[in-house]
Amino acid sequence: MNENEMLFSSGVLTGERKGAVSPPESLWNDKKGGLVVVECPQRIPCNPCNTSCPVGAIKTFADINDTPEIDYSKCTGCAICAAVCPGLACFVIDLSFSPDKALYKLPYEMLPVPSKGDSVDCLGRTGEVLAKGTVEAVTEPKRDRTHVVHVSAPKELARDIRAIRVVK
Amino acid sequence: MMKETTTDILVIGGGAAGLSAAAEASSSGAKVTVVESDLHLGGQLVKQTHKFFGSKDEYAGTRGYKIADILLDEIKQNEKNVDVMTNTTITGYYIEDGMFTAMRGEESYIRIKPKKTIVATGAQERLIPFPNNDIPGVYGAGAVQTLMNVYGVTPGHRVLMIGAGNIGLIVSYQLMQAGVEVAAVVEAMPKVGGYWVHAAKIRRMGVPILLRHSIKEALGDRVIDGAVIMELDDKFAPTGAERKIDCDVICLAVGLTPTTEILSQAGCDMRYVPQLCGFVALRDRTMRTSNPDFWSAGDATGIEEASAAMVEGRIAGLCAARSLGLPVKSDRFDEYWSRLDHLRAGEVGEKIRAGVAKVMRDRWED
Ligand SMILES: Cc1cc2nc3c(=O)[nH]c(=O)nc-3n(C[C@H](O)[C@H](O)[C@H](O)COP(=O)(O)OP(=O)(O)OC[C@H]3O[C@@H](n4cnc5c(N)ncnc54)[C@H](O)[C@@H]3O)c2cc1C
Ligand code: SF4
Ligand code: SF4
């Protein structure tokens, strides 16, 4: 097994795969509110991303084990899927946020819950600190203690930032 | 004299499977008694603070302990038909007179003689041997979960997790949620056994998952203060590469095995099926065992998931009620089976499908 496959087998996405693709740049760049990024490359019996999306942007699964497929033209960036997905595998990234920053809407289930204005560490897929981000909003779409933290951070990290850590 | 009671259907175990069986059977009008060892109902569910997978029918996206509440609410609707005994353990079955003995609390013993029985006793944790595994600080994952999620106590400060199946991955995540550091997860296989998304969750929080690694020994004098882990080659033999990990807790999440003593006592035909993780009862599609008065469901029939356990429980509850001559909605049987087939359709269901194929009987010769 090569290094990349080994890393993937331990839970780190290494390049795009079925169920884990980035939105097409042409739609993504100017999309107000952002687009969903799903990283769910394994066939598992699960579909709340589809059943929770209010606009049908995550296509209906023919088989509950299918990996998610997305109709980006419908996605509003509402991040409801991010709050519902039990795998914390749905993120929304808004590249239209500012000239140099993107708004990352990331699911968050740790303590403490940050507040607007806080500076947080933005983490990559192995927990490495990639940048500092600023919390722009914190929502709890389903009132079930999964928060979605909206963080502004450098745009060029859109393919890498996937979590935050609150530093006290 | 020892108190003796009777009931239409005795459900042993009040977890996902048992509660579903009780809900289903009581809604058909059967008098059901649920016996549960623990102080409260819910089984594994009450310890699961994370959101479940599966489909909407099995409450996907809902946290485990909330699912237990949903099932309990359903049972309340037929309250008059359901008798619940918590803090009560079934200790034996006497096949000669169809009698169960049970211990209630510490002192009192009772006898129960049901018409039909559904065994939903769940599973037990496996352990692996290594030097010093008797030093305080070595826990099973179930104990860690009970401490944290039922009693609100953290087991320590820094944990080494052994096993990257779903339990190891989820308990690691829950430890981090409780503010406990996870030093690493070690896994002998070349791939995480649990869902990839659960692994990704803890990886992005900075936890290393060391594949092809295992624990060599625990370190410490009176309590654990570290562990030596070792690398394995593709034949699971140590390569010689070793490393010390600082930790005060070693948590074992190396698998579960079905709890089936009662089924053996009832003379049910049992078979060892590796894919189902131990000895399990042969069964037909109604979840009936070779003993015509015994059904089984959930992890006791093979280690799977709460989603499948709930559907199996419903099938067992429905069919046990039907065997009493009660009017049941028969179309539900096919609906439940189609749900089970869906849940087992994927890559991860392959193992279960192979295991179930070995124990499924078309019909019992009466
Ligand atoms: C960490 C972890 C995470 C999990 N995550 C998921 C998930 O995301 N999705 C999912 O679908 N599943 C998940 N599961 C699996 C799920 O919890 C189990 O498959 C499910 O709870 C099995 O239900 P059950 O009713 O068969 O067994 P249990 O829930 O174990 O219930 C069995 C009950 O029987 C009782 N009992 C046993 N023997 C006796 C006796 N002699 N007398 C009286 N009572 C007795 C026990 O006390 C117990 O309460 C997870 C499990 C764990 C440990
Ligand atoms: S962000 Fe909103 S619209 Fe887009 S896929 Fe998720 S739930 Fe659907
Ligand atoms: S809800 Fe999340 S884990 Fe489940 S299929 Fe959708 S993206 Fe994957």
User: In Å, what is the CA distance from B273 to each residue of A20, B64, B307, B363?
Assistant: 35, 27, 21, 20
Residue B1 is predicted with a pLDDT of: 58
How is chain B split into domains, by residue range? 2-124+256-359, 135-252
Note the pLDDT tens digit of each residue in A58-103.
999 998 889 999 999 999 999 999 999 999 999 999 999 999 999 9
Sequential pLDDT tens for chain B (366 residues)? 578 999 999 999 999 999 999 999 999 999 999 999 999 999 999 988 888 877 777 787 788 899 999 999 999 999 999 999 999 999 999 999 999 999 999 889 999 999 999 999 999 999 999 999 999 999 999 999 999 988 999 999 999 999 999 999 999 999 999 999 999 999 999 999 999 999 999 999 999 999 999 999 999 999 999 999 999 999 999 999 999 999 999 999 999 999 999 999 999 999 999 999 999 999 999 999 999 999 999 999 999 999 999 999 999 999 999 999 999 988 999 999 999 998 898 777 899 999 999 999 987 765
* Residue A67 with chain B: CB contacts under 8 Å: none
Q: Which 8-state DSSP code applies to residue B106?
A: T
φ, ψ of residue B272 in degrees (nearest 5): -85, 120
Residue among A46, A63, A130, A162 with most chain B CBs within 10 A, to mutate: A46
Q: Per the CB < 8 Å rule, is B197 touching A88?
A: yes
Centre of ligand 2 from the C-alpha of residue A70, in Å: 9
Q: What whole-number distance in Å separates Cα of residue A60 and Cα of residue A49?
A: 10
Q: Which residue among A12, A52, A128 sits closest to B61, beta carbon to beta carbon?
A: A52
DSSP string, B215-242: EEEEEESSSEEEEEEEEE-TTS-EEEEE
* Residue B207 with chain A: CB contacts under 8 Å: 127
CATH says B2-124+256-359 is which class? alpha beta
* Shortest distance, CA B259 to any CA of chain A (angstroms): 25
Bridge-partner residues for A90, per DSSP? A38
* CB of B323 closer than 6 angstroms to any ligand 1 atom: no
* Fold matches, B2-124+256-359 and B135-252: yes
Tokens of B68: 């237990």
The 3-class secondary structure across A78-142, one letter per residue, is: CCHHHHHCCCCCEEEEECCCCCCEEEEEEEECCCCCCCCCCEEEEECCCCCEEEEEEEEEEECCC
Question: Which protein residues touch ligand 3 with a CB less than 6 Å away?
Answer: A 38, 40, 46-49, 68, 85-87, 89-90; B 197
Please tell me which residue of chain B has the smallest CA distance to A110.
B177
Query: Which residue do the tokens 């779903």 mark?
Result: B166
Q: At what angle do helices B166-177 and B196-203 cross, to 10 degrees?
A: 30
CB B39 within 8 A of CB B89: no
B238-245: strand order across its sheet: B213-220, B224-232, B238-245
Bridge-partner residues for A154, per DSSP? A101
* Interfacial A residues in 56-115 facing B (CB < 8 Å): 63-65, 84-89, 109-111
Give the count of beta carbons closer than 10 Å to the beta carbon of residue B206: 17
Report the predicted TM-score, pTM, of the whole model to 2 decimal places: 0.88
* Residue A111 with chain B: CB contacts under 8 Å: 177, 179
How is chain A split into domains, by residue range? 3-165
Centre of ligand 1 from the C-alpha of residue B13, in Å: 9
Those residues of chain A that have pLDDT short of 70 are 1
In chain B, the N- to C-terminal Cα span, in Å, equals 37
Tokens of B139: 């826990």
* Shortest distance, CA A161 to any CA of chain B (angstroms): 9
The answer to whether ipTM exceeds 0.85 is: yes
Instruction: Check CB contact of A2 with chain B, cutoff 8 Å.
Output: no
Question: Which CATH number is correct for B135-252, 3.50.50.60, 3.40.50.720, 3.40.449.10, 3.40.50.300?
Answer: 3.50.50.60
Q: Are strands B3-12 and B108-119 parallel, antiparallel or unpaired?
A: parallel
A151: enclosing H helix or E strand: strand A147-154
Residue A127 is predicted with a pLDDT of: 97
Q: What whole-number distance in Å separates Cα of residue B164 and Cα of residue B187?
A: 6
* Residue B343 with chain A: CB contacts under 8 Å: 45, 64
Instruction: Check CB contact of A9 with chain B, cutoff 8 Å.
Output: yes
Instruction: Check CB contact of A129 with chain B, cutoff 8 Å.
Output: no
